[in-house]
Structure 1
Amino acid sequence: MPCTTILIGKAASYDGSTIIARNEDSPNGQFEPKRMEVVHPSEQPSTYTSTASHFSFKLPPNPMRYTAVPDAVLGHGIWAAAGFNEANVAMSATETITSNERVLGADPLVEYEPAEGVEGEPGYVPARRGGLGEEDFVTITLPYITSAREGVERLGALLEEFGTYEMNGIAFSDVNEIWWLETVGGHHWIARRVPDDAYVTMPNQLGIDRFDLDDAEGERREFMASADLRSWMAEHHLDLTLNGGGSAFNPREAFGSHSDADHVYNTPRAWYMQRCLNPSESWDGPDAALTPESDDIPWCRVPERKLTIEDVKYVLSAHYQGTPFDCYGWKGTRESRGAYRPIGINRTGQLAVLQLRPDVPAQNAAVQWMAFGSNPFNALFPLYGNVEGLPEYLCNTTARVTSESFYWANRLIAALADARFHDSSAAVESYQQKMGALGHQILRETDASLADAGASEVPARLAAANERMVAALKRATDDLLAKVLYTTSCAMGNGFSMSDNER
């Protein structure tokens, strides 16, 4: 699924939090309605059945409660997307990534193949199950892990056993660490710990650009991988490092892609995010060190200042502002303004920013910042993650279009505001700032109120804070919808300046 991810280590964030965030974008021409839910242990299946892959397997006993952002329309899997479990471990899955023919030939993807013919008759070929994929990962992993590292280990073992039918990148975090896992072919995988002082940008292509096999096979301090990765690479001549390479190699060169499509769809997004977060470097003109089509944009780098929740929202809403590539801008030409795939695209279903804060008790450390719909037109707001349930406004999405659903209200706002982007921008920006400021205020006030709360009181106070946030969010969203509807209605093509004085 086309998406964009950013990961921020604890020493690179404004308050020492680990932060993982991802836009969940549907394929071109599709708009997938999303909702939120809290999944309780009693609701977690003991046997998991994959919709796309047509196979079932047993899940461990005693799952934990967790939050999720599943698809709202049933029939093609859960796609739980992002959430926290009650052990304060976060997971975001997945970022669809790229590969190359050498890798896929050496370890083919495990794709479902339907039966051929009629059972019992000559020539019948039974169906072959597929592997795991994005629809499955959160549901079969998040309820069973107590650290980010454990998340890599569990999902890695499942990939080796069952395989996958697609290339994906998956993020795990706890209050101390962030790990990024990338699938490699049908059964292999690699994972790297995000440096504490760095951020990572991921735009739909295999990203890790440095790997230490000795560490992955030994202490696993910074790197992990499937057990036979070294011998498999050697057998199939996958390491492209000159002069023998040794323990260290570049996975992006070995396992990834550098296609023409990458240069219009993927690399420009990494370029723009890093342009925003390291602005003093040379990004533009003939002397730029990196361009939107560079194949060597770093997987991670140290920012020029500590990064905030607002920085995450800005870069994941971006449409190349300030450059000739801005689809809403005036610079460049008509061709340049449509040259590259925006980060804040029309088909985003949801953005989840998963923050684990080190300076508050564990019971209120997990904050799931959320936005639904196209990011240039929506607002990011916080929810406490350690709760038994979530407000109805966020959970009631169905296939029916209604402004009483937060998802659909945002889709309506985006479609209307896009048509009159510059006329609507002031109202949208005011809404975004108001909701963000209120979110920080509610977190501050609720955190303070918990100082004298007994353990039994905490869940109710967290739920009350979420309800307060969402009640204000609904009022503000309804108000913005009315404003952009008015603005776009006034610009309709069948308008006429002369009117009667009376109705």
Structure 2
Amino acid sequence: MKKSLRVLSAVLAGTMLLSTSALACTGVYVGKDVSTDGSYMIARSEDQSNGAYNKMFVVQPRVENVPGRYIEDTATGFKIPLPATTYKYNYVPDYTRGDDGMYPGSCTNEYGVSISATVSTSTCEAWEAEDPFVEPGLREAILAATVAAVSKTAREGVEVLLGYVDDYGSEEGNTVMITDQKEAWIVEIYSGHHYCAMKMPDDQVAVFGNHNMIGLVDPKATPEDGYYYSDGLFETIDKLGLAVKEGEKYHLAKSVCNNTREDYNAMRNWAGMTILAPSKAGDYKSGEFYPLFYTPDEKVSVLTVMDVYRNRLEGTPLDVTLPGQENNRVIGTERSSQIHVLQTFPEWPAECAAIDWICLGNAQHSVFVPHFSGINDTAPAYKVDGEVYDPSGAFWMFKRVCTLAEQNRSLYSKGVMDFWDLQEHIMYDEMMDASKTMQAKYAESRAAGDAYVTELGIQMAEREMGLTDNLYANLLTTMMFNTGRAAGRTLKTFVADVPLRQIAEYKGYSVSWDSGSITVAKGATSYTFTPNDDPAFFYPKGYACTDANGNDVELSTYAYVRDGVTYVPMDFVNKL
């Protein structure tokens, strides 16, 4: 929750849709036993009140034996003291602003602890009146970093976070997820001093919007049972007459929210279920308390989690393209500034236990770029600050493509999504292959491992940024073509161009050069691209394509070279 919106939220206290629309984020969890590669996954979209909101991606180095430091929330002056030694972590902060904090969004530290924070929440008026938020107190603006800097395990991270709430109080309602290589936790902060933390099941998944979700809890449960909760939590529920119980167990979400649900949030619970467990979703029911955790219909890949963040209720009665459904709250909103999927692998070296998939802009028309968590640095474009469009900044590079594609989804969306989908599949395979080298490097030394993953992360990110330059240029050209198209003439549907060598090698083809021609071959199948010498050809640097028998291969557009990369139209991929 952004500080500047707290006043608005108070003014609009009775209008949930208005007060949360600028605060809304969506969380996703996948347990290691139901993921395709045995990893834990926690994820979150950071949704803003507008689409122009620069986020960066940087590394905070380890600090040894420097006492007297603290983390400060610059908007409020609230400070949390730090120990003399703090741990290295990477994080996704806001651009520098004078009126608010850094909002680290997500963190993964050198001990394999990942924190996704936060999904903003609120409770009923009676609850917040009984235990008001504390100002100044702990906010999302610094929360993730304060945990990552000092925690060696997820459980320790939970205890640290809850200790902050006990000692200082919370300024807002939040949901936080914390993982390490052994377990995953969810923390719900309900008010100034009340909370519940729950160990998440290894064999289930969750997708949730901006409301509290923890269900039945036994007031006798202990940390050994997988629960922490604030002193007096259940007594306060009873005092206010809010208790919703089954036997001796309290349904916390129903209790602190006075047994109400808003469509604005519940639609996202249901949308996630239609993707991960369609057999359980049924028809959407307004006011339904959808479960926090459930078993997916099949094991879930990180690529599927990415697609959850692109969902716009397509193919359902709530599809926002249908008349009367335009205002439904989708997961794949245009207002996301960043989305992260933090994927932790139990068997990897702790100092590089995770892959942080970072998507800048909104997921539908942007791309998740992976980094091993052991990195010491990020590509320079991730550090470009400021609130005005800057083509050298990573956020702006990716967001500009989103902005164009969303001007007319029927013409431009599929071409962009197909391009990034292919890149994500390629990068996932590349990371799985690189993980073998990564583990070997860390077996040599920590320094060798850190150096390897840092260089790999920068190279991969800069490659994708180069590709987005070309994607943007071609998409903008298509839009210009359509803008000047005479009335009644057919408009052009955007088809992206892909780098020939990358896609050919991904598909198992060899790539060779001979006197300016390029041949890709696998077995008896081959395609040769030759510079087109016909002076009448409208693009003289284009390439013609023939198959192994010398027959012309029709391409929807020409192949060409730009900045040393040979590009071919996306529909050529189907031939390989």
TM-score w.r.t. structure 2 length?
0.76
State the match for 1:283 in structure 2: 282
Amino acid at match of 1:5: G
State the match for 2:207 in structure 1: 201
- TM-fit CA distance, 1:292: 4.8
Report the more deviating stretch, 226-235 or 487-496.
487-496
In structure 2, the residue corresponding to 1:93 is in which secondary structure?
A: strand
- Cα distance in 1 for residues equivalent to 2:432 and 2:281: 38
Q: Work out whether 1:464 is the aligned partner of 2:434.
A: no
- Cα distance in 2 for residues equivalent to 1:266 and 1:448: 41
Q: Work out whether 1:321 is the aligned partner of 2:321.
A: no
Q: Work out whether 1:226 is the aligned partner of 2:247.
A: no
Report the more deviating stretch, 199-208 or 451-460.
451-460
Q: Work out whether 1:437 is the aligned partner of 2:422.
A: no
- Cα distance in 1 for residues equivalent to 2:369 and 2:242: 44
State the match for 1:92 in structure 2: 116
Q: Is the 8 A contact 2:25 2:45 kept in 1?
A: yes
In structure 1, the residue corresponding to 2:110 is in which secondary structure?
A: coil
- Cα distance in 2 for residues equivalent to 1:317 and 1:84: 24
User: Equivalent of 1:383, from 364, 371, 379?
Assistant: 371
Amino acid at match of 1:308: S
- TM-fit CA distance, 1:494: 8.0
Pairing of 1:328-343 with structure 2 (within 5 A): 329=321, 333-336=322-325, 338-343=326-331
Gaps (5+ residues) in structure 1?
A: 112-129, 285-290
Comparing both structures, which one devotes a greater share of its residues to strand? 2
Q: Work out whether 1:74 is the aligned partner of 2:62.
A: no
- TM-fit CA distance, 1:54: 3.0
- TM-fit CA distance, 1:236: 3.3
- Cα distance in 2 for residues equivalent to 1:480 and 1:108: 49
Q: Work out whether 1:410 is the aligned partner of 2:382.
A: no
In structure 2, the residue corresponding to 1:280 is in which secondary structure?
A: helix
User: Equivalent of 1:419, from 385, 404, 407?
Assistant: 407
Equivalent pairs: percent with the same residue? Answer: 25
- TM-fit CA distance, 1:444: 2.6
Q: Is the 8 A contact 1:92 1:170 kept in 2?
A: yes
- TM-fit CA distance, 1:5: 0.4
Q: For residues 429-451 of structure 1, give each alpha carbon's deviation from its aligned partner in whole angstroms, at most 9, with x where no partner exists.
A: 23212321231233133222245
Q: How many residues align?
A: 462
Q: Work out whether 1:305 is the aligned partner of 2:293.
A: no
Q: Is the 8 A contact 1:213 1:223 kept in 2?
A: no
- TM-fit CA distance, 1:396: 1.8
- Cα distance in 2 for residues equivalent to 1:193 and 1:31: 36
- TM-fit CA distance, 1:458: 1.3
Report the more deviating stretch, 219-228 or 266-275.
219-228
- TM-fit CA distance, 1:160: 1.4
- Cα distance in 1 for residues equivalent to 2:432 and 2:190: 42
State the match for 2:85 in structure 1: 62
State the match for 1:186 in structure 2: 192
Per chain length, whose mean CA-contact separation is higher, i.e. which structure has more relative contact order (CA < 8 Å, sep 6+)?
Answer: 1
State the match for 1:51 in structure 2: 74
- Cα distance in 2 for residues equivalent to 1:348 and 1:209: 28
State the match for 1:41 in structure 2: 62
Report the more deviating stretch, 293-302 or 17-26.
293-302
Pairing of 1:62-211 with structure 2 (within 5 A): 62-75=85-98, 76-111=100-135, 130-211=136-217
Gaps (5+ residues) in structure 2?
A: 1-22, 490-537, 539-576
In structure 2, the residue corresponding to 1:175 is in which secondary structure?
A: coil
State the match for 1:255 in structure 2: 256
In structure 2, the residue corresponding to 1:48 is in which secondary structure?
A: strand
- Cα distance in 1 for residues equivalent to 2:431 and 2:50: 37
- TM-fit CA distance, 1:420: 2.1
In structure 2, the residue corresponding to 1:276 is in which secondary structure?
A: helix
- TM-fit CA distance, 1:357: 1.0
Q: For residues 218-262 of structure 1, give each alpha carbon's deviation from its aligned partner in whole angstroms, at most 9, with x where no partner exists.
A: 3432211113323333333332327xx42x1101111126657x2
- Cα distance in 1 for residues equivalent to 2:137 and 2:439: 47
Report the more deviating stretch, 461-470 or 347-356.
461-470
- TM-fit CA distance, 1:497: 8.6
Q: Work out whether 1:25 is the aligned partner of 2:47.
A: yes
Amino acid at match of 2:310: S
In structure 1, the residue corresponding to 2:357 is in which secondary structure?
A: strand
Q: Is the 8 A contact 1:420 1:488 kept in 2?
A: no
In structure 1, the residue corresponding to 2:34 is in which secondary structure?
A: coil
State the match for 1:121 in structure 2: none
- Cα distance in 1 for residues equivalent to 2:54 and 2:472: 18
Root mean square deviation, CA, Å: 2.3
Q: For residues 314-369 of structure 1, give each alpha carbon's deviation from its aligned partner in whole angstroms, at most 9, with x where no partner exists.
A: 11111111123333x4xxx4212x14111111110101110111243334321101
Q: Is the 8 A contact 2:61 2:89 kept in 1?
A: yes
Q: Is the 8 A contact 1:208 1:251 kept in 2?
A: yes
In structure 1, the residue corresponding to 2:307 is in which secondary structure?
A: helix
Amino acid at match of 1:71: D
- Cα distance in 2 for residues equivalent to 1:452 and 1:200: 34
- Cα distance in 2 for residues equivalent to 1:292 and 1:375: 26
- Cα distance in 1 for residues equivalent to 2:415 and 2:112: 36
TM-score w.r.t. structure 1 length?
0.87
Q: Is the 8 A contact 1:212 1:223 kept in 2?
A: no
Q: Is the 8 A contact 1:277 1:304 kept in 2?
A: yes
Q: For residues 278-309 of structure 1, give each alpha carbon's deviation from its aligned partner in whole angstroms, at most 9, with x where no partner exists.
A: 1223523xxxxxx1524221111011111111
In structure 1, the residue corresponding to 2:189 is in which secondary structure?
A: strand
Q: Work out whether 1:476 is the aligned partner of 2:476.
A: no
- Cα distance in 2 for residues equivalent to 1:47 and 1:452: 36
Q: For residues 406-465 of structure 1, give each alpha carbon's deviation from its aligned partner in whole angstroms, at most 9, with x where no partner exists.
A: 201222111110112122233212321232123123313322224543213211111121
- Cα distance in 1 for residues equivalent to 2:287 and 2:354: 36
In structure 1, the residue corresponding to 2:280 is in which secondary structure?
A: coil
Amino acid at match of 2:333: I
- Cα distance in 2 for residues equivalent to 1:467 and 1:233: 50
In structure 2, the residue corresponding to 1:165 is in which secondary structure?
A: coil
Structure showing greater Rg: 2
State the match for 1:488 in structure 2: 479
Q: Is the 8 A contact 1:381 1:436 kept in 2?
A: yes
Q: Is the 8 A contact 2:397 2:465 kept in 1?
A: no
State the match for 2:387 in structure 1: 399
Q: Is the 8 A contact 1:47 1:58 kept in 2?
A: yes
- Cα distance in 1 for residues equivalent to 2:240 and 2:304: 42
Amino acid at match of 2:251: N
- Cα distance in 2 for residues equivalent to 1:167 and 1:282: 28
- Cα distance in 1 for residues equivalent to 2:31 and 2:104: 24
Q: Is the 8 A contact 1:382 1:439 kept in 2?
A: yes
- Cα distance in 1 for residues equivalent to 2:127 and 2:292: 20
State the match for 2:243 in structure 1: 239
Residue 101 to residue 381, structure 1, CA distance change in 2 (3 Å):
same
- Cα distance in 1 for residues equivalent to 2:313 and 2:353: 33
Q: Is the 8 A contact 2:43 2:116 kept in 1?
A: yes
- Cα distance in 1 for residues equivalent to 2:159 and 2:486: 61
